[in-house]
Amino acid sequence: MQVFLPSRPETSFFGPADVPGACAQHTPVCRAHPPGQRKKIRPRRREDTHGPQQELFDDPHLFVDGISHHDLHQGKLGNCWFVAACSCLALRKNLWKKVIPEWKKQEWNPKRPHRYAGIFHFQFWCLGDWVDVVIDDRLPSIDGNLIYCHSNVKNEFWSALLEKAYAKLAGSYEALDGGSTADAIVDFTGAVAESIDLSDGKYKVNITEQTKLFEELLKVYKRDGLICCHLKVDSARDMEVATPMGLIKGHAYSVTDIRKVSLGEKTLCFGKTTKLFMIRMRNPWGKREWRGAWNDESEEWKKVSKSEKRNLGLTVQNDGEFWMTFEDWCNNFTHIDICRMINTSYLSQHKTWEKGEAHGKWTTNADALLNRSGGCFNNKSTFFQNPQYVFEVKKEEDEVLVSLQQEDQRIYKKFEKGDNFIIGFEILKVEQNRRYRIHKMQGQERYASSPYMNLRSIFLRKVLKKGRYVIIPTTFRPGVTCEFNLRVFTDVASNFRELLRDKPSVTCWNFLLGYPKRVSQVLVQSIEGVDPRGKAEGADLYIIIKCENESVRSGVHKNTTSANIDVKVIFYRRRISEPIAIQVWGSKIICDQFLGQVLLAALPNDPVEEQSLQLHKEGRAAQEMPGLINVKVVSSDDLLDL
């Protein structure tokens, strides 16, 4: 998938800089060839109306002495968030090589100038796909100086060109004036972004919670994750105002290192040193640092050995990078964005996750069965018209990560839109054999709900019990149209897929077997007082629920006469005169033992309240057997009722 630059850039994209008394020129990076040759390899363009075309440097490079998080400096655009994301990206070679593919081939080589075409390729992750963005080498400048993002080495241009490619993806440079560091990191890497509110008191006063957060961030950092943070402003007047300790409010900072720093000289053999939790930050301005404890010139650094300082890369200069204790960091910043690189490779020593992914869309339609934009759970009548995705938790308990990302709206800013929609999702625990879309809340369990926010990405981490679940991604208001990407990560493959059909399809087999006439939902909650004949203590109990040619079996409950079963199933019934059978069995090595059953007519007018039913032997007129089954049954002759 590629996005190509038109032969003549639009004025809105390269519009003059908003700088009083000056205007921007779009200056080529280098003079690759004499004018006669240059026309053959560069796209034709009109003369810049703000002045003649000029070259910035005769010896330009993408990288000078490699790539570093110190390379970047924010220009006159309000995109500190973007520069902070680039600083994070520069820390990980395996990640930036994906964003700047085949960079050696794109690099300017003065010995082979004929290979330079004046174009550059960058790749960004957009809703699950890597998009190739192609730009030319002209950059906005004033009097030969770049006005936006630039390097501290004047003939290094990777950051300026990356910014231009990202601006093209977003629609304009103007679209980058204000944004989210986490969004940019996700666009660079395909990471899963989680936002944490550090203003929550537990991170400021609870040492246990603070330690858990540090260990989590350290693990994320060591596994190529990227982290950024900011200090929230209370009003517009506080934007970019410095605190007494030198931190800038409303300003994005990148986390460039996390360490447990040893205090004092290391002793021989069995000696121990005190460890201090430390975190290193970088200001995208390339200056203005932390003034509190452990700043570059702080007396506290005398507690650290020279070898440890070298290991930390400590420099005493106003370069925008500084260390803080983790405690000070928690007390001074208010929000953190953690961008995890979720490992899905089996060739790894770290935990491997199984991923389920879908690219969907909220769409509108006058037909309720075709509408896919029903709004959040508050909209009871339309909620289930949203897209629905089913997955299974196959372990007794499993930690599940869910990430929902909406389409980037910045490209629509020129249409007086461009703001993120408020989005979120619900997770419902459903029947073990659910294969069709849910239409009503009847009998379903609302198991988890994400926050609803106007962010590009919404994240939820939740421990779920064994069973089948349906995720319903939604916009807050119904009737909103937008594309989205949904990802689910589990420890064991979850058979993640979209539920597309509302009810069983009509096929040629229906002429022979008949089409379903009734839908019945059965919830077996528990069994009590079962007699495991021949065993004094109890049996290994399980149940089987049968309807026509379909059966569902529960898990085994060890050495008991009573058990909480909590098994829910749904059947689409052709032969409605045949009852639904719930059988209780005892698991044995050679032959399982039948311990009784109940038969349910499951009629539409039957009570929907919980019933305690006596077990019987097989057969309709069979005698009673010890034990009760607690069950709820809901039936309807309208197949869209459940």
Instruction: Indicate if 616 belongs to the active site.
Output: no
Given a cut of 50, whether residue 624 has pLDDT beyond it is yes
| H runs (alpha helix) in 100-231 | 103-106, 158-170, 181-189, 202-205, 207-222
Domain 512-636 bears CATH identifier 2.60.40.730: no
Please tell me the predicted confidence (pLDDT) of residue 467. Answer: 94
What kind and span of H or E run contains 522? strand 518-528
What span, in angstroms and rounded, lies between the C-alpha atoms of 482 and 264? Answer: 56
Which single residue is written with the structure tokens 């625990």?
429
Give the 3-state secondary structure of 224-243.
CCEEEEECCCCCHHHCCCEC
Residue type, 404: L
> In the structure encoding, which two tokens stand for residue 18, read together?
């908003």
Q: Quick one: the chain helix, strand, coil %, rounded to 5?
A: 20, 35, 45
pLDDT in tens, 222-257: 998 999 999 988 888 888 899 999 999 988 999 999
Neighbours of 578 (CB within 10 A): 14
Cα 530 to Cα 595: distance, rounded to the nearest angstrom:
7
Q: Where are the beta strands (DSSP E) in 343-456?
A: 354-362, 389-406, 423-430, 445-449
| Residue of 79, 283, 420, 485 marked active site | 283
Note if 80 is an active site residue: yes
Lowest mean pLDDT among 15-19, 379-383, 440-444, 609-613: 15-19
**Taking the domain 193-340, which CATH number applies?**
3.90.70.10
Query: In the annotation, is 283 catalytic?
Result: yes
Band of pLDDT at residue 8, cut at 50, 70 and 90: very low
* 237 or 272, which is more confident: 237
Tell me the β-bridge partners of 490. Answer: 354
Domain ranges of the chain: 2-190, 193-340, 354-498, 512-636
pLDDT digits (tens, 9 = 90+) for 38-60: 222 233 333 343 445 567 767 78
Strand runs (DSSP E) across 29-128, as ranges? 72-73, 119-126
Residue 512: pLDDT above 80? no
Residue type at 98 in one-letter notation = K
Contacts of residue 514, defined as CB under 8 A and 6 or more positions apart, other chains included, come to 574, 575
What pLDDT is attached to residue 411? 84
How many CA atoms within 13 Å lie on the side-chain side of 410?
A: 20
**Distance (Å, rounded) from C-alpha 122 to C-alpha 100?**
5
Contact 482, 361 (CB under 8 A): yes
Could you tell me the pLDDT band of residue 346, with boundaries at 50, 70 and 90? confident
274 residue type, one letter: T
User: Which CATH fold topology does 354-498 show?
Assistant: Jelly Rolls (2.60.120)
For the stretch 298-316, pLDDT in tens is 888 888 888 888 888 787 7
The residue annotated as part of the active site, out of 251, 295, 386, 439, is 251
